[in-house]
Structures are given as C-alpha cells and as structure tokens.
Amino acid sequence: MGGTAEPLPGLSGAALLRAWERGSGLEPVRRGAAVLAAVLPDLPVPAERLPIGVRDTLLLALRVHAFGPDLAAVAECPACGQSVDVDADGGAILAVLPAPDPEPPWERLSAAGRTVEFRPPDTLDLVAASGCADVRAARALLIQRCVTGLDGEPDDDTVAAISTRMAHADPAADITLRVSCPACATDWSAPLDIAEYVWAEVTAAAGGLLREVHELAGRYGWAERDILAMSPVRRRAYLDLP
C-alpha cells in the first residue's frame, strides 16, 4: 500500500546554502545524502546510511514541498536519439511510494539451499561500488556488503534472487517514467535520478540566492544572515527598487 512521506520543511535561504555548501566538492553519488544531512539534521541515522529508496523519497518530498510538484526533464530516445521533453508530477509519484523507513529491518531470503539476511544498499555502498572496474564486480561488492549468511561467492541464480528481493524491499531506489518519442513513436521507461535532479535545482537556486545576497549587501550594507532571514518576496521587493 502506498503512502506519502511525512511533511518536510521547505528550503529556507540558510538551509539552501548549507545544502549546496555541503554537497559542493563531493562526488555525485554522495550529494543527495549531503542535501538531506544539511536540511534534516535530526534523522535517526546518518543520511549516507539511508537506503537509496528512502533517501530518494525524502529528497522528492523535500523538492515537492520546497519547489512544487512539477518535474521537467529531457530524455534521449533510445531508438532515434531525439531529445524528448519529460514532464512528471512529483506528488503523484510520492503517492504510490511506500512511506520511508529510515531503519528498515534486515530481511531473510532462502537461496541455494541456505537462508541469508540482507538490507537495501545505501549511499556508502554505492560509493564503494563506484570504484569497481565493471558492473559484475560492483554487484559482487554490493552483495558482500549488504548480505550475511553466504559461504563463498554466490552463483548467478543466488545473486539474481537476492537482487530481485532487494529491489522489492526498496522500490523507490529505481523510479522510472514512461516516455514516448514524438518523432518515432518509441515508448520506453526512463530512469528518474531524484538525487541528481534535486542537486541540480539546489545548485541553480543557491547561485541565484548568492547573487541576491551580493547585490543587497553591496547596496545596503546588510549582513548575509539578515538577508537570508528575509522571505524571497521581500528580497525581490528590495532588489526591484530603483
């Protein structure tokens, strides 16, 4: 049964810059967790230890609350290479996702005649896997980090069974959108990378906010903290004065 995340605070000016500052300089796979750590400092576990689907559900809820539900992106048609505009409703996506559990229990699975326990991968697992030479090595490393009870290297059937159950346990880790190409009528499922999407918006919004602070500080001599304490409407009103 689907449910929406608990209400999240909007991105205040100070929180926005804090999120951007924490994520800048990090490798892309860590930026989504950095945003959550900056905006939600009271999470029950470190943001990098959240299952990927939980991380992305919280990021999407934050995005919808702070910037609105409309998501716009561009995907490349796999058949003809045409750039296709993609529009989605973040609120509708949240409505069908399970409520995020920051500390999901380990799950059991019978595979290859033995019972193993597993947990969904988190950001630190993806960081470790990103250093692998190929997809097979990365998958093996994730199995090693996220599964207990295996004796030796699992065979392909065991890996496939575990991977399927992991995906079922954390469905928000793989959000896709149905896309249709207007040029060649090809339909396909395009992945929606919530962490990358939110980071791009945080970066753009932070850049705009820094420019506002720079102009207002130069014009009036106000401190950054006082400018950030203003609402966006009030900052814009001062900027629009002749």
Tens digit of each residue's pLDDT, the chain (242 residues): 233 333 345 578 999 999 999 999 999 999 999 999 999 999 999 999 999 999 999 999 999 998 899 999 999 999 999 999 999 999 999 999 998 889 888 999 887 677 889 999 999 999 999 999 998 889 889 999 999 988 777 878 888 888 888 889 999 999 999 999 999 999 999 999 999 999 999 999 999 999 999 999 999 999 999 999 998 899 999 999 99
Q: How far is CA 21 from CA 9, 17, 134, in A?
A: 18, 6, 31
Q: Which residues pair with 30 in a beta bridge?
A: none
Q: Give domain limits for the chain.
A: 13-73+81-100+194-240, 107-169
Q: How many CB atoms lie within 10 A of CB 242?
A: 2
What whole-number distance in Å separates Cα of residue 130 and Cα of residue 137?
10
Sheet hosting strand 147-148, strand order edge to edge: 107-111, 114-118, 147-148
What whole-number distance in Å separates Cα of residue 95 and Cα of residue 113?
38
